[in-house]
Structure 1
Amino acid sequence: MPGTRITALGHYQPAKVLTNEDLAALVDTSDEWIRSRVGIHTRHVAGPDEPVDELAAHAAGKALAAAGLTPADIDLVIVATSTSVDRSPNTAARVAARLGMEAPAVLDLNVVCAGFTHALATADHTIRAGAATRALVIGADKMTEVTDWSDRTTCVLVGDGAGAVVVEATDDEPGIGPVLWGSVPSMGHAVRIEGSPPRFAQEGQSVYRWATTQLPPIARAVCAKAGVTPEELDAVVLHQANLRIIEPVAQKIGAVNAVVARDVVESGNTSAASVPMALSKLLARGEVASGDRALLFAFGGNLSYAGQVVRVP
């Protein structure tokens, strides 16, 4: 079976920016409290007339343009999201309609914060098996729509956005390494989007302890499956949950020569959008170059995790 590679990236965020000072006017918090505990300075917020599929379509359009492709070149669309409002049409179908596609396979995938890395693996497997030739893989979430704005422990975390990649087959060395994925179902209650209307809640200390102690060896195992050592990585792109999780986990992985994505500082926790958006920004700013090895590793809701080493397009 052929290998696959990422050929282009794109990201999109709504124009409205919510600062820590803005949040201090809503709940009992402060800029110092937020920065010291989660490292976030700002986040982007979509309006009521900006649904998840619109965010996703903007990012997808940018990825297509960067790849020099048209919507007709895509035969598979996978959208990782946990904040779509409607069950049908699914978000992927709505993105395909916005882009003017005619007959792609359209799949939504809900693994919450780990959704994008699961979706990337799904596209990799699908193309390798010959069921698709070229895929758009998108992580998009509108977390502000499921947020309790009276809960200062969660409302300070979230932001909205989307990131997208184009994935296609290659006869050269594969640009997407094997996935390592799993979950801890017995602790699935630690991160939740439940109820009617749905609301985001989490057990912050439990998530912090799990992430900082259990995930580093799993991330090193991802590197081993790809045949690289952590020291050979050029970039580490973790789920942008909280800077106080990202920094110790990155350190424990041992990627001493890698740039570590810290997009959470300006974007907050954008759930499934965070990994592709952070990687896209690293490339746009010239902090990574074509051919660099990047560890993508996401974790969160369900206490799911998934990661792979990829080559930057």
Structure 2
Amino acid sequence: MTGTLTTGTRITALGHYQPARILTNEDLAALVDTSDEWITTRVGIKTRHIAGPDEPVDELAAHAAAKALASAGLAPTDIDLVLVATSTAIDRSPNTAARVAARLGMAAPATMDLNVVCAGFTHALATADHAVRAGSATRALVIGADKMADIVDWTDRSTCVLVGDGAGAAVVEATGPGEEPGIGPVLWGSVPEMGHAVRIEGTPPRFAQEGQSVYRWATTQLPPIARQVCARAGLTPEDLAAVVLHQANLRIIEPVAQKIGAVNAVVARDVVDSGNTSAASIPMALSKLVERGEIPSGSPALLFGFGGNLSYGGQVVRTP
């Protein structure tokens, strides 16, 4: 199925899902040499949700997708493009998007996975925006889903305290006649020579990072890029109602948000309850803010992902 050329797109609905099991800082202190105080001081995380061995990435993604579809009042067969941002899918084929489509009973959608690690959702959202505006899709389902518990070393206290599992999803459709675009222009890029600073490598794959390098890069280099994202959308940081950064670490989120200058915005801090869920973190945090009514419908929200590959990508969206 293909659509017609359109001048803009918008997010019409959101959904999120997290596994039932909650792992606290006290639980982690029984596994490795750490404490609630140590974790809270360094990364600001209190709890994280952990999926079981019988909960694969595509199941997490399908739950979030079903919630978004229900919120939009759509059937799975109304979707003709499924994009899943993930870096933790174990199997190469069928890809995660195809498995989500099968779980939900979709008709004949195009299905693609995108691996841009923690910046995956904003890259996938931009790709859906481009596809719908170009007429190659009519309605897209964009999902960020990761099962970080599968790829972390649970004996390494520097990384195992960070991660959680979950998924977030957005439905993307064309804007109506005369309606302003609800997804702003993307600004994306990377720092290839520093790609080694965040890694998921080896057999079995394991997550590792150079934390201080990532912290310095994020807190110094990203705020001016985020301000450029606002400028591309024709806004100033003061115009923003919400700032939803990749939920990496509260000690990164707070200084970056402050340096962006979004003085009137709600800053998403879902990392405190959910940990770092990689590609799931932005759509999950945004979905929760909207569900709780913390940002009104139609409000401008900055989405900005960063991390693995030292990739970054962001856009301003209007909330559904």
| Sequence identity (%) | 85
TM-score by length of 2: 0.97
Deviations 1:242-273 (A, max 9, x none): 00000000000000000000000000000000
2:123 counterpart SS class = helix
After superposition, residues 57-136 of structure 1 pair within 5 angstroms as 57-136=62-141
| Aligned residue number for residue 194 of structure 1 | 201
User: Counterparts of 1:76 and 1:90 in 2: how far apart (Å)?
Assistant: 14
In angstroms, what is the RMSD of aligned CA positions? 0.4
Of residues 297, 310, 313, the one that matches 1:290 is 297
Deviations 1:89-135 (A, max 9, x none): 00000000000012000000000000000000000000010000000
Whether 2:28 is the aligned partner of 1:43: answer no
What runs of 5+ residues in structure 1 fail to find an aligned partner?
Answer: none
- Residues 24-53 of structure 1, C-alpha deviation per residue, up to 9 Å, x if partnerless? 000000000000000000000000000000
Verify: 1:3 aligned to 2:14, yes or no: no
1:34 pairs, out of 12, 32, 39, with 39
Counterparts of 1:196-215 in structure 2, within 5 Å, are 196-215=203-222
Q: Which residue of structure 2 lines up, in the alignment, with residue 249 of structure 1?
A: 256
| Residues in 2 aligned to 1:196 and 1:144: alpha-carbon distance in whole angstroms | 15
- 1:274-311 superposed Cα distances (whole Å, 9 cap, x missing partner): 00000000011111110110000000000000000000
1:22 to 8, 27, 37: 27
Please state if 1:140 is matched with 2:145.
yes
Partner of 2:164: 159
Q: Does 1:279 align with 2:258?
A: no
Secondary structure of the structure 1 residue equivalent to 2:248: coil
2:186 and 2:163 map into 1 onto residues whose CA distance is 27
Residue matched to 1:310 = 317
Greater than 6 Å deviation, 4+ residue runs: none
Match of 1:56 in 2: 61
Counterparts of 2:183 and 2:49, CA distance in 1? 30
Whichever residue aligns with residue 51 of structure 1, its letter is: P
How many Å separate the matches in 2 of 1:264 and 1:101?
32
Q: Deviation string for 1:202-246 (max 9, x for gaps)?
A: 000000000000000000000000000000000000000000000
Q: Distance in 2 between matches of 1:173 and 1:59?
A: 27
Distance 1:9 1:98 in 2: 18
Deviations 1:141-196 (A, max 9, x none): 00010000111000000000000000000131000000000000000000000000
Say which of 161, 174, 183 aligns to 2:181: 174
The residue aligned with 1:222 is: 229
Count, aligned residues: 313
Distance 2:293 2:44 in 1: 23
Q: How far apart are the structure 2 equivalents of 1:188 and 1:146?
A: 18
Q: CA deviation at 1:2?
A: 2.2
The unaligned stretches of length 5 or more in structure 2 are 1-5
Q: Does 1:260 align with 2:255?
A: no
Q: Secondary structure at the match of 1:23?
A: helix
The residue that corresponds to 2:247 in the other structure is 240
Q: Distance in 1 between matches of 2:220 and 2:246?
A: 16
